[in-house]
Amino acid sequence: GSILPADPNFIWIVMSQADPEASDNIAQEILDDSKWGDQIQMPKHSQKHEKGKLMVQNRQTGKLMEEKIPKYIRVAMKLMYTGLTGHVVGEGKRIKFLLQQLTEKQGRKFDSSSSVKNIEPFMKFHGIDFDEMLHTDISHFKNFNEFFYRKLRKDARPIEDKHSDDVIVSPADCRISVFKNIHSARKLWIKGKQFSLSQILASHKNKAGESLVERFENGSIAVCRLAPQDYHRFHCPINHANIAQSIPIDGAYYSVNPIAVNRLKINVFGENKREVLVLETEKHRDMLYVLVGATMVGSIVVTAKKEAELDKGDEIGYYKFGGSSVSLIFEEGAVEWDMDLLKNSENQMETLVRMGEKIGVRSHKQGRRGSKGNRTKEE
């Protein structure tokens, strides 16, 4: 008979407390068990996705590649967010509390000096390139988190069309999805309950968010998902910008993996801990830069100084350990996304891009900022 309990919450708890080798053994037992294994397949976003795997398209090579996720983490997420009998496990208050506890515990663990032993196995599993790192000597890092938000050499991420004020670049190494408006994002990709700009900005909780909803309601959005193996510093995507406003919003710690994002009953971007930055520009229309924390992300750290001028590629901040995301939201008609990214997003396929790669251009069909902040029509 099966050795597995009926309550998938129990499996998540046990796996989170076990070491990786033991957790993988538990995961394999789950996969081998016919009662469980048949019901926890990955959601299939397109015909090109392979059963049970999360596939993304590498923009540089054009090839599909499997995202590397440790077996025990993959299975735990499937159990939490897909359920076994149509019941969405991750929705309950108990799981929200558990995720917060686990995230805080993991943050403390990876801030400890003993966590340096996790660096080399992590690099080996994910194939992280030593040569890109600013500090290639592992002994430089005092703990795992210092390695996780490591800096790269300046030439490791060249900024495309650096001096063009019209070109928009990726703010991070990420798996990106772009949409002409939030309605399209909700229809094609982000299927969480009540996903809307009002939810993202928590406008029901703060006046600052309420004042932004009308301006950006029909705007274009790019969702930049960072997996744990990615470089976890995030940067400015445009020239001549400054942080005019910052709105911290407390929340849950759901995963930003598509397993969670595509669950109808989970509002990842409207419920997770996040911080909304308003990037103001003198020449172009403003934009929203939304930092979303996730499972095992201990902190969102903004390093850029308010009011300081930022250009493309300038650092805005970093995440401590875990998966996370950055969402870029522009006012309606203010941006035109690159066609290859739009096409992939319409086919529910994420595209792997690097920080500094061109992802779109400013649209000249819309008015620009006038001398007093009013919108003026182009002649």
Catalytic residue among 49, 232, 235, 284: 235
The two structure tokens encoding residue 110: 């990876």
The two structure tokens encoding residue 67: 């995202």
For residue 253, give every residue at least 6 positions away whose Cβ sits within 8 Å of its Cβ, in sequence order, or none. 96, 99, 100, 102, 103, 272, 273, 293, 294, 295, 296, 297
The answer to whether residues 201 and 213 touch, using CB atoms and an 8 Å cutoff, is yes
The two structure tokens encoding residue 82: 């897909």
Has 364 been annotated as catalytic?
no
> Cα(184)–Cα(119) distance, rounded to whole angstroms?
39
Instruction: For tokens 């096409």, name the residue.
Output: 343
Has 87 been annotated as catalytic?
no
The answer to whether residues 41 and 50 touch, using CB atoms and an 8 Å cutoff, is no
The answer to whether residues 72 and 17 touch, using CB atoms and an 8 Å cutoff, is no
> What is the DSSP-derived secondary structure letter of residue 62?
-
Has 23 been annotated as catalytic?
no
DSSP structure string for 228-280: TTS--EEE--SSSEEEEEEEEE--B----SHHHHT-TT--HHHHB-EEEEEEE
Instruction: For tokens 């086919």, name the residue.
Output: 347
Please provide the size of the chain in residues: 379
> Cα(155)–Cα(109) distance, rounded to whole angstroms?
32
- Tally of CB atoms within 10 A around 84: 16
Catalytic residue among 49, 173, 327, 338: 173
Catalytic residue among 255, 324, 327, 345: 324
Sign of the four-CA dihedral 254, 295, 76, 74? positive
Catalytic (active-site) positions: 173, 235, 324
